[in-house]
Amino acid sequence: MTETAAYIPRKTSRSRFIDMRGLECHVREWGPETAPPVVLLHGSRDCSATFQFIVDEFEGEYHFIAPDWRGYGRTGWNPQGYWFQDYLVDLDIVLDALVPGRSVPVAGHSLGGQVAGTFAAVRPERVSRLIALDAFGLVDSDPGETPDHLAAWLDTWRNGPESSRPYATLAQMAERLRQTNRRLTADKALFLASESSRARPDGSLEWSFDPRHRAPFAVMHRKSEWAACMKRIECPALWLASDRKARIDSEPGGIAARAALVRDVTFEKIPDTSHNLHHDRPAEVARAMEAFLTRA
């Protein structure tokens, strides 16, 4: 990657730390605390800074609240590993700490969107509006694969997680991000690399997430269980999808059929985007989100 400057945020974030069941949880915030709150939940192997680009594109004034999930960003690591259900409890704690007793909009990308949707189903009084960014559930797992899946999960504890690869420079990490998503501009890749990395004792760099996140969840994915939650969502929902070809598209009705499980849903595809549509077309994503949030 040629020499370039990192993306310069137009809206400055600030940090706070709260206790999350014995872990120190980092929360990134933008905007005045008196403004309408919007909670932002990042995806797997990511961090709260991933939302900087869409926050910069919002025209109205909001109080954005974006926690780093356990084992990600600046939040502490859990030596006992990670379960999907942990994120539901952690979200409950974040909301109680920062917006107690209120019903607020919650938006999530990928894993964060799965958590947001499930949480909206089981805590309907806490979520006023739901926004899912390319988060439409996983492909159904085969129960017959359960023994092999659990064996692989056990092996990660016997052998230890795959170690993080060291990088000499932020530019190398930025180029790795662009190899995964060629729509990502050089300046944004460098910004994300800076916010998503940490220094090793020898002075090299590595991604800041816990390597244990590379291990599979112990519990297999069941589409029927996920669908039951989607049908319980009471608040209006906006489901934004990339226009990439996904495995879910091979199902009858594709992604649109999954979105239709939610009773009050607006479904849109953002053209020319990858899974990280909030990086590729932040202005379009922000416009769709803000129009949804301000809709009567």
- Domain range annotation of the chain: 14-141+221-293
Helices (H), the chain: 52-57, 84-98, 111-122, 146-159, 170-180, 186-195, 223-230, 254-259, 277-280, 282-293
Taking phi first (over 0 means left), then psi (-120 to 50 degrees means alpha), and beta for anything else, what does residue 89 get? alpha
With tokens 């030596």, the residue in question is: 79
- CATH code for 14-141+221-293? 3.40.50.1820
Question: What is the structure's pLDDT at 1?
Answer: 46
Q: Which helix (H) or strand (E) segment is 104 a member of?
A: strand 104-109
Q: For the chain, 296 residues long, give each residue's pLDDT as a single digit of tens.
A: 456 899 999 999 999 999 999 999 999 999 999 999 999 999 999 999 999 999 999 999 999 999 999 999 999 999 989 999 999 999 999 999 999 999 999 999 999 999 999 999 999 999 999 999 999 888 888 899 999 999 988 988 888 777 789 999 999 999 999 999 999 999 999 999 999 999 999 999 999 999 999 888 888 888 899 999 999 999 999 999 998 877 787 788 888 889 999 999 999 999 999 999 999 999 999 999 999 999 98
CB 131 within 8 A of CB 287: no
- Predicted TM-score (pTM) of the model is 0.95
DSSP 1-15: ----PPP--SS--EE
CB 173 within 8 A of CB 197: yes
Question: What is the structure's pLDDT at 3?
Answer: 67
**CA separation for the pair 70, 86 (Å, rounded):** 9
Tokens for 128, please give them. Answer: 């006023």
